[in-house]
Structure 1
Amino acid sequence: MSWLWPRLLTALLALLGASLLGGLVGYVASGTPWRAALAGAALVSLALVVRDAWRAHRLMQWLRGTQEGPAPRGRRFWGEVGYRVERALRLRERALEQERERLAQFLSAIEASPNGVMLLDSRDQIEWCNSVAADHLGLDPVRDLRQRVTNLVRAPAFVAHLQGGQFGEPLVIPSPRGDASLSIGVRPYGDGLKLVLTQDITERERNDAMRRDFVANVSHEIRTPLTVLAGFVETMASLPLTEAERQRVLVLMQQQTDRMQSLVADLLTLAQLEGSPRPPPDHWVPLASLLQRVQADALSLSAGRHQLEFHQEEEALVELAGNESELFSAIANLVNNAVRYTPAGGRVETVWRARAGGGGELEVRDNGIGIAKEHLPRLTERFYRVDGSRSRDTGGTGLGLSIVKHVAQRHGGELDVRSELGKGSSFRLVLPPARVRREPQVAALATG
């Protein structure tokens, strides 16, 4: 109300001044000062009304417009009104802009989430969804807004879950493309609104299946030799055996014992690879000594039945950075696998060669039985066997290539497998430049 009293005082002074001025003019002109005073007061009042109306008109025109420029300025009442209205509008615009920025940041955070988020109104129409949810459910995040979600995602289980109203447990359904498994959780909020959360659990289900298979395979692999050993022990305890039969049973028991020891050793190796820190990048191991040890093991395993070749294409003393036992285990597994699955008279060749950029690769290739294309993606899974009976006959545990893959990854490299059924296989252990160094000397590698 601070504007009211100055405004009333100004009007009263103007009226009083106009009356006095009108009375003076009337007295001089006609001797009737009261009429002139009334006329002067009326004129001043009219002038004040016209001025106020004009200022009010200017302010109303500004309010009816976009309010982009400043409000009409003036002294006293209408200037004060224009200033306060403009300030209130600017404060509201600033608050709305801040709210929009916060909303944009919130939506950006949701958009960056690896999980899908979708908002539904009380009629199950899509109010908003991020790109992950759109990809999971086969939606268009712009085109499908304000569409009923059950008209777009027609999986019966999803429709029944959404309409049933029992949202305690998440729903698992296949994705619309059929290439993934989705976990869908619905959370009611507000007045009939729903928050739908989607998550791709394909990898988790695959890992769970692999874990179950791993436990089942370990149990089976250990149970088989234990059953054989138990049978032999019972036989030796209950039946009279000749010396020749006794020796034969002891040999078979030793074979089963060795098989269990190999299995346990490979399991411990995998556990150590998964639980230990990455190999040091500054501990250098001569490649030649690794290949000599691998060659000795391969010659013993082959027993003269294969043609084994070990050579290096580059004329330099090559050293590898990492854990010596892990590198030996990886190379030995590749060479021994090639020997086991190559028929007698076949050839197994182990070659080291430089790669562009300073890295290197160790290739083990054979002309053995080869592997069908559909088996190649799963070769490095634990206990995965192309031919289970043949693997057991050759003494494999089904863990060798899994160990090689882990060693390669821990040394920053990769395992590349190429094979064709009936034409042999090629396994390449690729190492990055940081794990390979060379000295300008000729490394003499034995061949056999």
Structure 2
Amino acid sequence: MVDLWRRFTGIILLIIITAVIWFAVDAVTALSFLSLILLVKTIHHTYCLTSLDRWLQRFDHASMDVSTISTLPNSFGPWGDVFIRFSRFIRRYYRSRQSLSKALERLQRATSAMPEGIVILDEANRIEWCNPSAELHLGLDLKLDIGQHITHIVRQMQFVSYLSAGDYSKHLVIKQSRYEEMIVSLQLVPYGDKEKLLISRDITRFEKMEIMRRDFIANVSHELRTPLTIIGGFLETLLDEEMQDSDMEKRALTLMADQSKRMQRLVEDLLTLSRLENAQNTLHEEVVNIPALLQSLYQEAQSLSVGRHRITLNLVSDAQLSGSLDELRSALGNLVSNAVRYTPEGGDISLNWAEEHEQGLFFVQDSGIGIGPEHIPRLTERFYRVDRSRSRETGGTGLGLAIVKHVLGRHQARMEIVSEIGKGSIFKIWFPAKRLIKHSIHNKPAAHADVLPKTIPPML
């Protein structure tokens, strides 16, 4: 407000002087004086405006430094005030830019020292910047590839599909053949205004260690299978001949035979896991008749139970699945056998097949001992046991649910577990709609199969 009045003071003073000349001399002299003053001011304003415009044309943000301020035009009066304020603004801008440049330089040095690769992608997935680790992992050259679409450099089809899918919650593992079979883990992290960070990690060493571990387990299990079979065969022969001199010998042979069978089951489960974990073991796709498979599992459950449980088979849907019969039999059979093993005598067990929300739904419901909520997240870990002593008594290997997890992963299915101590458990498996094969039933269900109502029983 003070500056405004100061500016108007000069105009008011000019009007007063003109009026004085008008009354003291004459009107012509007064108007001539006013015109001359206005002409001088116009020339001064035009000169200062032209000088500022020329300076702005020469102004280069990229190369600006403190010396740039010294070239700013200088003047007096209102224009002098404008130039002083403008020079202060330029100084603040320069200091701010210097601070940001140093911060960016520190950030680039920090990211350049990281073992993980970092690639900054714009909204169109073009490369804006990357660190040396990313250049090594992905075969990039920042000087040559900046502005290039990332798929022009990383050409693996699985990466293109991963990029276009838009689901970046999981990482992607690819093999870079140009660098001696380097194995790289990739994950995209969206940020900012539709930009992305592509983070890469060299996991070659870990993958090789994992391959060595799988090979070791597979080889040891394979080597153990033959001697265990021979030992078990001789033990069964000795038990059948009934040549024991005492009950102690017979009991010892019985225990040895039971433990031999348990070790054989453990070896078979380890071999199964090794096959499922092998990336070279592709899924053998075929049409799996789920109702017929459940009929078979129902019979096996009856044999395992030996009349100790009430077991029912409920078929609501006749849909079949696209997948591996052997793997699905192994996974579903593990859930069924677990229900029989962990349900007390006189309990109820049901095997169910239905369709819910356009997905295939298989679930096993039992009235067994139940599982505490703290154990449920870890049930699919290898050798994890809720009750170790009871697991040994029931003959479990501790690998059944780990096998189920791997089979479901290969079939894009998911498992849901609901359980309560003392009230039993429900193990649900949801199969995606793309694996369902639907057709009408021409044959009635078997006599022992109780058909469910259209709604699934409520969860525990």
State the TM-score, normalizing by the size of structure 1: 0.49
Please tell me whether Structure 1 or Structure 2 has the larger radius of gyration of its CA atoms. Answer: 1
